[in-house]
């Protein structure tokens, strides 16, 4: 006799049936739809021209050049599953280019010959004819998964194309014109929704996809000298209200710094103004202010000095590894420099005379040092004053295969000579070039 009460028998039978039944696969995520009608100039900002000339005219996208391969890349990435439908207006030989890392898959349509072909890294995978009118709208569609494509053109039945040896999903899409000047009526992309990653470092966050696109667009606008347009892209990407200053994504900060360096007045506009203000540091004796770069990782110490020779600020960045010292010589007339110290007489606080003696000393103190730039008038002013500078490089004592570099600028203000020393490997200084330019541009002394 069963030990289970009779009323439990139906429930136990149901549980047993569920355990034996195969588990249904979870439903595939719903695809996100992105569409471009090519009736607004703003839509071109979602694309990057890699070759040729592309423009919008009368509600269509037009490739105005006739090169062997004119390419317009979509700035938004693809995912492992999705589709793209491109509508051709009129004639032309065109293609959709799908890339997975360095691998290329080209879905090519030749309306004049009435053929559609699929190629992988130049090798043919499939080709077949299609029937369509010589004019009017002709859509062709590519749907993809990791191991195969489904391709169709016009009203024809779709056909499958395997991706032999495919190891990675497609990550980018481009429209291609092949020796023709086609017009396109629309582009529709469906893809799995983008999953935003968690923050990669405490106190910061990764770029959202919209922010990635905005950074690329801002860079393109900056390259075309549209600095205000680049600033607007970044401001829109931050949203309203913008995140706290410590949570701005690093790539967006670096692009904002480029924009503000190109047009300094923009550093005084919100939301950038509050961030810049939060990075301002004052000297302990009130003699100067230093604004740290927007790149995360910079720190600064203000020495407790008061009207005496010594460092006023010491700023460092861990990645790239560079250091900056701002030093004041206080209205004295004699200084000792060199491995075998020499007395240097200066007038009016020193200025160029003091700087020239310092350059000779530093070259003497670093074994194997060479002058990258002779001591001379600097191409930039600092703190509103004329400046002089020199630059050295020498083998790194810790690793003779590497090089260290030092650049020093000098300027005279109210009888004091100020020295700004930039130290780091040439590569690190090159990576941090915008940061160092920011420090020099925004350093100010009390008037």
For the entire predicted model, the pTM comes to 0.64
Task: State whether residue 20 is helix, strand or coil.
Answer: helix
pLDDT at 429: 92
Q: Are 179 and 64 in contact (CB under 8 A)?
A: no
Query: Which residue ranges form the domains of the chain, and what is each CATH number?
Result: 32-191 (2.60.120.200), 209-275 (no CATH), 280-445 (3.40.1000.10)
Residues near 208 by beta carbon (within 8 Å), at least 6 away in sequence: 196
Is the pLDDT confidence value at 202 over 80? no
**pLDDT tens digits, 366-385:** 888 899 999 999 998 998 89
Q: What percent of the chain has pLDDT over 70?
A: 85
Most confident of 72-81, 99-108, 235-244, 436-445: 436-445
Q: Please give the Cα distance from 138 to 88 (Å, whole number).
A: 5
Q: Are 293 and 263 in contact (CB under 8 A)?
A: no
The distance of Cα 182 from the centroid of its chain, to the nearest Å, equals: 31
Q: What DSSP state is assigned to residue 169?
A: -
> Which of the four pLDDT bands, split at 50, 70 and 90, describes residue 349?
low
pLDDT at 51: 93
> Which of the four pLDDT bands, split at 50, 70 and 90, describes residue 393?
very high
Nearest partner of 110 among 159, 61, 60, 177, judged by Cα: 177
Q: Are 381 and 350 in contact (CB under 8 A)?
A: no
Is the pLDDT confidence value at 4 over 50? no
Lowest mean pLDDT among 47-61, 291-305, 348-362: 348-362
**pLDDT tens digits, 40-50:** 888 888 898 99
pLDDT at 11: 41
CA distances from 370 to 223, 393, 446 (A): 35, 6, 35
> Which of the four pLDDT bands, split at 50, 70 and 90, describes residue 261?
very high
């Amino acid at each position: 006799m069963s030990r289970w009460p009779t009323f439990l028998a139906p429930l136990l039978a149901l549980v047993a049936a569920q355990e034996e039944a195969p588990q249904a696969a979870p439903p595939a995520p719903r695809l996100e739809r992105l569409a471009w009608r090519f009736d607004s100039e703003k839509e071109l900002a979602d694309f990057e021209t890699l070759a040729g000339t592309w423009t919008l005219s009368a509600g269509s996208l037009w490739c105005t050049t006739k090169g062997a391969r004119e390419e317009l890349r979509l700035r938004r990435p693809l995912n492992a599953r999705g589709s793209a439908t491109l509508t051709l207006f009129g004639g032309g030989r065109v293609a959709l280019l799908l890339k997975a890392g360095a691998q290329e898959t080209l879905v090519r349509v030749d309306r004049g010959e009435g053929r559609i072909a699929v190629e992988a890294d130049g090798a043919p995978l499939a080709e077949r004819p299609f029937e369509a009118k010589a004019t009017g709208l002709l859509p062709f569609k590519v749907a993809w998964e990791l191991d195969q494509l489904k391709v169709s053109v016009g009203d024809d039945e779709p056909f499958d194309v395997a991706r032999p040896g495919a190891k990675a999903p497609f990550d980018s899409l481009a429209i291609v014109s092949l020796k023709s000047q086609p017009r396109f009526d629309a582009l529709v992309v469906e893809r799995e929704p983008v999953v935003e990653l968690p923050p990669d470092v405490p106190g910061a966050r990764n770029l959202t996809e919209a922010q990635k696109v905005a950074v690329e667009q801002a860079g393109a606008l900056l390259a075309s000298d549209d600095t205000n347009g680049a600033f607007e892209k970044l401001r829109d990407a931050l949203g309203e209200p913008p995140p706290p200053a410590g949570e701005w994504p690093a790539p967006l900060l670096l692009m904002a710094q480029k924009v503000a360096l190109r047009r300094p007045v923009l550093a005084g506009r919100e939301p950038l103004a509050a961030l810049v203000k939060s990075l301002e540091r004052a000297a302990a004796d009130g003699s100067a202010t230093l604004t740290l770069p927007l790149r995360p990782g910079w720190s600064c110490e203000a020495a407790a000095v008061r009207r005496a020779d010594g460092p006023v600020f010491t700023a460092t960045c861990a990645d790239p590894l560079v250091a900056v010292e701002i030093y004041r010589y206080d209205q004295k007339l004699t200084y000792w420099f060199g491995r075998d110290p020499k007395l240097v007489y200066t007038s009016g606080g020193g200025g160029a005379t003091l700087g020239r003696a310092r350059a000779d000393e530093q070259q003497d103190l670093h074994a194997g040092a060479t002058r990258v730039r002779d001591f001379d008038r600097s191409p930039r002013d600092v703190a509103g004053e004329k400046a002089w500078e020199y630059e050295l490089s020498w083998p790194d004592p810790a690793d003779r295969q590497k090089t260290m570099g030092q650049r020093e600028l000098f300027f005279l203000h109210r009888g004091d000579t100020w020295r700004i020393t930039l130290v780091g490997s040439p590569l690190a200084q090159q990576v941090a070039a915008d940061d160092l330019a920011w420090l020099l541009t925004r350093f100010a002394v009390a008037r």
